[in-house]
Structure 1
């Protein structure tokens, strides 16, 4: 028994923990949970907990249903909102009965990509800016109402949104999740909380925890928290701009003090890989029909494949907050939204960048203009392409991608495509209020 496992067993006893929740995600990124009693914990560490994989979205067919959840002791945390009966959680790795990794486990998909990076000497770090909406609980789901009327960086005296962010951040910190910034975003009821840099696996676990914490705090305050990318036609949508970097030991592999942009060749090749594969990975970084309503908005929702420095209309941005600080060199990927499965999305961002490094892809010219304000002809003359305009287009491009198939593995790749085709087909059959309002009276 390793020291971390011993620590968890002692902590459960010392802190009078009554329930341990074992967490993992399905292929679409929805959290799954099973609770066990403390008496079962030692057995769970040594043998795992069996479950029916055929009942989990995208995991297995009925005749190969048996799977095992193995708790990761390094992810042990108490749940602060479960105060009456002490409750803790751990994320799990999923295996088959023979001990081999379950190919449908999103956490394993990311681990596989991280091992590929590690074999090249790299550690992959991420830092997400997570946007979300706070909504009034008394409004129906099909007619949401924002909690407030604030705008970008608005300072409001102790309103519901301010209280919410304070309580949510306090709870996140209690769970060992460090928060860097928080503020009101551009739309009414829209807020942002930025998590401090961590390795990509820890960050994907943190994002899943973040969503649970925010929804728990919201329910406790009689409001709703939503990560739907675009709940309002007339307001900007919510993204999850993610800053990424590669380190070789303690050295930031993206930094070069002699370069004008302070970017090394590795950093430039990484950006080139992100741009080259951006079309293929969009179905995963923006996996819902609604995700493309945000990308069509303009402004800070990027739809055009280009990079820039202080250019927030670009798909990939090189921040210049601290240009001479080596550890701060990073790249920001701006299309991704927080409704994605972070394990799959981060695996694809990493492998896209690594492919750029492996093939020494040249970095295209920098886009210095507001790309949204350019005409189609101007963008075309600059070699700036567009991301897929809807989920159907994104699926079609992903289907032909060797990089996505290899990264996700055959099982996840096939299931994800089938599920997303079904989602778009269902969406395409719907008659929308806009059609009824504009056409029914005239036709």
Structure 2
């Protein structure tokens, strides 16, 4: 892990000829925002004196108390390799504070840091390895995104069938130039769908990396004349894009999820962590699958999980235990999608898992067969429930779960519910092409 000092930042800015610094943060939905300053203003920025209007950011503040300050995290310093080599552009990811110097409780990064502190007090370090999927589509002559593609590649295909190969390679090389460790990248199952997998990292760094990676992928795609989208289900009839999260806990550098004596190789803490996530997964889904379109992905037939179950042997359940060495034992949560705010998504997953450890919550037995082939009656007899089927259903489950709401805090939970129920209401009022094709000529 990096450990930069103020002097390090000043030195790097001078040595690398940085002329512009972007002070970045996210709104409550995970969208990157920034305030930009020149290198001459770096001292002011590092003294936490850069202010912005919080009332202009979704879910942050009212007009009456809108003055917010950015507190840069020195360890997030990085330069953008695609910018000019003279007068380079760098960034620092920031925490958001109120005018009185106190932290903004609704800042998503703070929410994750608070849960990570709870894990630390229990003796744990939380590591995350994300697998992020996205589509590369054409833009029209005006630069407007479309869902068009000329390619027909599928899993692990390569050029010339994989027409996005060059763009994906440049994305990976750019991310590596910024200090990321990329384990692999490949074409996914749907045409124009791609995946980049990151090496596991401490959770706060992993969340920083996820929001940064989305920005990099979109930027490099545009330089190739393409549009990158992390929309979970941009096209009907093909697989959607997920953001599988590989989760593990360690104590003093030792993976606590591993137990070679167990038939599945899992420790008690691992079982309890799974139990905690499964107990709260319906409410968690409101955070990990936060838009109307998320629930177009969570349907049978397209490899995304639909049912609440776990397994060490197959990929159809919500949670699977990938084959690994003892030190790499992890839990893969397969339901999240890349529209999620990674800070909030990791916060609720960790909080639920820790709660499972505290309460020694055992999960139900593993389901080691194809859940989709069990049939409705078989699933009912096995006690297997479904994930929420819509954003509104997920919002109701979130509201019914005071523990998960407490992770976000009362104010942020209220703002989030209000925004998302409004989003669903707007969606419900729309008349879609499907409805016109289905009903217009027969009714």
When normalised by structure 1's length, the TM-score is 0.97
Q: Which residue of 2 aligns with 1:337?
A: 337
| Cα deviations by residue, 1:359-404 (Å, 9 ceiling, x for unpaired) | 0011211101111122222111101000000001000010121122
- 1:27-66 to 2 correspondences below 5 Å: 27-66=28-67
- Of 281, 286, 289, the residue aligned with 2:289 is 286
Distance 1:106 1:147, change over 3 A: farther
Alpha-carbon distance between aligned partners in 2 of 1:334 and 1:45, rounded to the nearest angstrom? 39
2:355 is matched with 355
- Describe the shift of the 1:48–1:260 C-alpha distance in structure 2 as closer, same or farther (beyond 3 A): farther
Equivalent residue, structure 1, for 2:270: 267
Q: How does 1:193-272 map to 2 (within 5 A)?
A: 193-272=196-275
- In the alignment of these two chains, the number of paired residues is 439
Distance 1:67 1:203, change over 3 A: same
Match of 2:409 in 1: 409
Q: Partner of 2:118 in structure 1?
A: 116
What is the alpha-carbon root mean square deviation over aligned residues? 1.4
Q: Report the counterpart of residue 97 of structure 1 in structure 2.
A: 99
Partner secondary structure for residue 392 of structure 1: helix
What secondary structure does 2:442 align onto?
A: coil
Partner of 1:23: 24
State whether residues 236 and 297 of structure 1, in contact with CA within 8 Å, keep that contact through their aligned partners in structure 2.
no
Classify 1:47/1:305 alpha carbon distance in 2 versus 1 (closer, same or farther; 3 Å). Answer: same
- List runs of 5+ in structure 1 lacking aligned partners: none
Task: Give matches, 1:286-435, under 5 Å.
Answer: 286-320=289-323, 322=324, 325-435=325-435
CA offset at residue 14 of structure 1? 1.4
CA contact (8 A) 1:404 1:413 kept: no
Relative to structure 1, the CA distance from residue 157 to residue 133 in structure 2 (aligned partners, 3 Å threshold; closer, same or farther) is same
In structure 2, the CA distance between the partners of 1:141 and 1:293, relative to structure 1 (3 Å rule), is: farther
Secondary structure of 1:262's aligned partner: coil
- Taking the aligned partners of 1:215 and 1:82, their CA distance within structure 2 comes to 14
How many angstroms apart in 2 are the aligned matches of 1:168 and 1:438? 41
- Shift of residue 156 of structure 1? 2.4
- The alpha-carbon distance between structure 1 residues 273 and 137, as it changes in their structure 2 partners (threshold 3 A), is same
Structure 2: unaligned runs, 5 residues or longer = none
Contact 1:305 1:384 in 2 (8 A): yes
- In the alignment, which residue of structure 2 is the partner of 1:87? 89
Deviation at 1:283, TM superposition (A): 0.7
CA contact (8 A) 1:147 1:161 kept: no
Shift of 1:143: 5.5
The separation in 1 between residues aligned to 2:304 and 2:28, in whole angstroms, is: 25
Q: Please state how far the C-alpha of 1:351 moved relative to its aligned partner.
A: 0.5
Partner of 1:174 in structure 2?
A: 177
8 Å contact from structure 1 (residues 395, 421) kept in 2? yes
1:431 aligned counterpart, secondary structure: coil
Shift of 1:142: 8.2
Give the SS at the match of 1:156: coil
User: Which consecutive segments of 4 or more residues in structure 1 shift more than 3 A?
Assistant: 139-143, 157-160
Specify the alignment match of 1:146 in structure 2: 149
How many Å separate the matches in 2 of 1:141 and 1:303?
Answer: 33
Correspondent of 1:125 among 121, 124, 127: 127
Give 1:160 deviation, angstroms: 3.5
Match of 1:185 among 188, 194, 217: 188
Q: Distance in 2 between matches of 1:48 and 1:119?
A: 31
Q: SS of the residue aligned with 1:42?
A: helix
Residue aligning to 1:10 = 11
Match of residue 439 from structure 1: 439
- SS of 2:118's equivalent in the other structure is helix
Which segment drifts farther, 222-231 or 44-53?
44-53
